[in-house]
Amino acid sequence: MRLAERYTTVLARLGSKFGHLDTELDYGTPFQLLVATVLSAQCTDKRVNLVTPRLFADYPDAPTMAQAEPDTLFEYIRTVSYPNSKAKYLSGIARMLTAEHGGQVPQTMQELVKLPGVGRKTANVVLAFAYGQQTLAVDTHVFRVSHRLSLVPKRCTTPLAVEKALLRHIPAEQLAPSHSWLLLHGRYTCTALRPKCTKCELADLCNSKDKQPINHS
């Protein structure tokens, strides 16, 4: 199967299964999505959604959160992974947004990645779901599924390399939904250790017969 046909088939099947999607993180504003996405690094969305209601109730926006010390924020997020580091990130993000952006979350990759603890993946999630931009975030699930389905060459060994390869073949208008489709397929079907191959809509396209774990954080 030609690569272009492979992409068309994969996206058509996943799009038919999942349809239009938002992120599984709970949020009400771009700032809250940014915070939730930072908290979700190496942590499940389910766990993040358990801690953010209380956090957002007391600190709903950047100017409010900017008044809190990291130790205070830690008490709200202590059950997520790496809470000490993330509390410092959230404090730094809130203060930088308040001081330099009037409390608003910027709408460009260049400005977002200047914020503490914000990399390309987090920035792309915010741009796609908060601002409706056609970007594609590569997390561990997207990375794994892209390789197992041979959407990207084996030489793409970093998230950025995978992102660039996917961008060359996915239509611009499908970038944001494709992120969600690939992510959810990896989260619930094409899992790292015990993929559900017998229930997979893409099993006939998968070249990873041995299903060796493929993970990249």
SS3 letters across 8-75: HHHHHHHHHHHCCCCCCCCCCCHHHHHHHHHHCCCCCHHHHHHHHHHHHHHCCCHHHHCCCCHHHHHH
Q: How confident is the model at residue 209 (pLDDT cuts 50, 70, 90)?
A: low
Cα diameter, the chain: 56
210 pLDDT higher than 60: no
Res 21: pLDDT: 77
Joined together, the tokens standing for residue 6 give 């492979």
The pLDDT of residue 51: 98
Q: Is 22 a catalytic residue?
A: no
17, 139, 204, 209: which is the annotated catalytic residue? Answer: 139
Output the CA angle 20-21-24, nearest 5 degrees. Answer: 170
Establish whether 139 is a catalytic residue. yes
- Residues 23-47 have pLDDT tens digits of 899 999 999 999 999 999 999 999 9
Helix, strand, or coil (residue 191): coil
Lowest mean pLDDT among 23-32, 102-111, 201-210: 201-210
> Which pTM was predicted?
0.87
Residue 64 has pLDDT above 90, yes or no: yes
Indicate whether 207 pLDDT > 90. Answer: no
Look at residue 216 and tell me whether its pLDDT is greater than 60: no
Q: List the domains of the chain with CATH numbers.
A: 3-21+136-205 (1.10.1670.10), 30-129 (1.10.340.30)
Residues 134-151 pLDDT 10s: 999 999 999 999 999 999
Q: Which of 27-41, 172-186, 198-212 has the highest mean pLDDT?
A: 27-41
Predicted confidence at residue 74, as pLDDT, reads: 98
- The pLDDT, as a whole number, for residue 61 is 98
Catalytic residue among 17, 45, 61, 121: 121
Q: What residues contact 103, with CB distance under 8 A and at least 6 apart?
A: 31, 61, 62, 63, 97
Residues 6+ apart with CB under 8 A from 52: 25, 26, 27, 32, 35, 36, 39
Q: Would you state the pLDDT for residue 215? A: 47
Q: Which residues neighbour 80 within 8 Å (Cβ) at sequence distance 6 or greater?
A: 39, 43, 47, 48, 51, 86
The more confident residue out of 208 and 216 is 208
Identify residue 141 by its one-letter amino acid code: H
Is residue 214 pLDDT above 50, yes or no?
no
